[in-house]
Amino acid sequence: MEAQVVCQGDKEGSEILDKFPVVKHSDPPSPSHDGFPEGGLAAWATVFGSFLAQISIFGYSVAFGVYQDFYTRHYLTNETSSAISWIGSVSLCLLTSFSLISGALYDRGYFYHLVIAAKPNQYYQIFLTQGLGLGIASGLLYVPTMAVISHHFRRKRMLVTTFVASGTSLGAIIHPIMLNNLLNGPVGFANGVRASAGLVSGLLLIACMCMRTRLDPPTIPVNYIAAASKCIHDVPFAFMMAGAFLFQTGFYYPIFYFQLDSIKHGVSVTFSFYSLVISNASNFIGRVTCGYIAAYTGVLNLTILAAISSAVLIFGMIGLSSLVSVVVLGVVYGYVSGV
């Protein structure tokens, strides 16, 4: 009888313990339910470093319109504006195309950075350094600095990525103001480029010290040839890539020529220096608000509307003739291109 009472008491005690499991205070709490920290010093420092990197990489590249204007009117006067635009075009092309290489290296655990500088005085020298060199270096930097934030965030990844990407627009505002005042002021081209390079180098140095990886690379590397072959045979994906390619061929035209066209059409030089700033500031607003608009219109519908609007506004550059037209076109195109 006593044994039965003891057994029954043990059973009831076991049931009570099952309802109230013992928590060991020595066990550290899990960062999140899926293993991602979703915050902390290392995570937010990485976000800040990635943000600074975007200011220096894409933000600097889309400020090429300042160089386009300066090279055409002052520095490379023997070259056509079309030939000069090849410098920026090749740089941006390499920025995106070399991302294929940097992405593969990043997936294999290589997270490194390159910064280069030069002082050319001939077209071919500028093409090699600013066109090829800067493009390759930016291409190797772009994907890793964007992808590293995925090591620290999953639930907040979209929000954090939006913040990091906004660094491009902020850089596209800062660099034109700085370059226009340096290149066209008493500082001159050589010292102006050195000062600009110093700013970019400083930002990238801080970014390098802030960003940290967290996850180990996969033990079995991805077969990118097989993945590319599968993508090519995916018809909807192939059409999407073709459409994106065609869109990119015209997207950067205003970024390169907006400031130069403003001056050529009689707008004051002083105000034209800020034409890119106006457009890029509006672009920043477009990047921030597009997510809210897409929630109501749908991503595809919003993308189609923005692409058509951008194409129409590019033709509108023919009518640049006054300060008002520069402001209106800059604000509207900047916004829809940001979307």
Q: Does the pLDDT at position 201 exceed 50?
A: yes
Q: Is residue 146 pLDDT above 50, yes or no?
A: yes
Question: Which residues, including other chains, have CB under 8 Å from residue 193's CB and lie 6 or more apart?
Answer: 119, 183
What integer pLDDT is reported at residue 29 of this predicted model? 42
Looking at per-residue pLDDT, the higher value among 228 and 323 belongs to 323
pLDDT for residue 331: 92
Phi, psi of 102, deg, nearest 5: -65, -35
Residue 38: how many other CB atoms lie within 10 Å: 17
The pLDDT of residue 164 is above 60: yes
Say which range, 17-26, 156-165, 249-258, 266-275, has the weakest mean pLDDT. Answer: 17-26
- CA 130 to CA 317: how far, in whole Å? 26
- What's the whole-number average pLDDT of the chain? 78
Question: What pLDDT, on the 0 to 100 scale, is given for residue 99?
Answer: 67
Number of residues written out for the chain: 339
* pLDDT of residue 31 exceeding 60: no
**What pLDDT was estimated at residue 26?**
41
Q: pLDDT (tens digit, 9 = 90+) per residue, 177-187? A: 999 989 888 88
DSSP 297-316: H-HHHHHHHHHHHHHHHHHH
- Predicted pLDDT at 6: 42
At 2 the pLDDT is 44
Give the phi and the psi of residue 10 in degrees, each rounded to 5.
-65, -40
Residue with tokens 């194409």: 311
**pLDDT for residue 255:** 85
The helix or strand, by DSSP H or E, that contains position 290, with its residue range, turns out to be: helix 275-297
Label residue 118 by pLDDT band (50, 70, 90). Answer: very low
Higher pLDDT, residue 34 or 196:
196
More confidently predicted of 120 and 267: 267
What are the pLDDT digits (tens) for 65-88?
Answer: 899 889 888 888 888 888 888 888
| Domains delineated in the chain | 37-220 (1.20.1250.20), 223-339 (no CATH)
Judge whether residue 122 has pLDDT over 50.
yes
Q: Give alpha helix (H) positions in 64-133.
A: 64-70, 81-97, 99-107, 123-126
Least confident interval from 1-10, 34-43, 46-55: 1-10
